[in-house]
Amino acid sequence: ASGRFDGYVDSSPAGHSPWDYLGALLVCREAGVEVVDAEGRELVTLDHAARRTPVAAATPTLLAELLSLAGAGNHD
């Protein structure tokens, strides 16, 4: 959380299990970073088999732009 990056889009096509990203999610949230999955969904889930592809951004505006670039804007 040093402030060196404005945004991050994970490029894993298969996504990750919750235990793969929940630690980083906590750090991001404590730093005020906006984080969802590539479809705009919440990353926290009780479904241990769920797969998510994290997207993080310093601001809500940048998050919306990254989601649009990742294709999430096409999943209404």
Q: What is the DSSP annotation of 1-65?
A: --S--SEEE---TT-B-HHHHHHHHHHHHHTT-EEEETTS--S--S-TT--B-EEEESSHHHHHH
Divide the 76 residues of the chain into consecutive groups of 10 and give the mean pLDDT of each group: 78 90 94 93 92 94 92 52
Residue 24's pLDDT is 94
- Architecture of domain 7-74 in this structure: 3-Layer(aba) Sandwich (3.40)
The pTM of this model reads: 0.80
Residue 73's pLDDT is 45
**Position of tokens 């889930």?**
45
Between CA 73 and CA 69 the distance in angstroms is 8
Residue 48's pLDDT is 87
Backbone angles phi, psi at 8, to 5 degrees: -150, 130
Domain boundaries, the chain: 7-74
Residue 44's pLDDT is 93
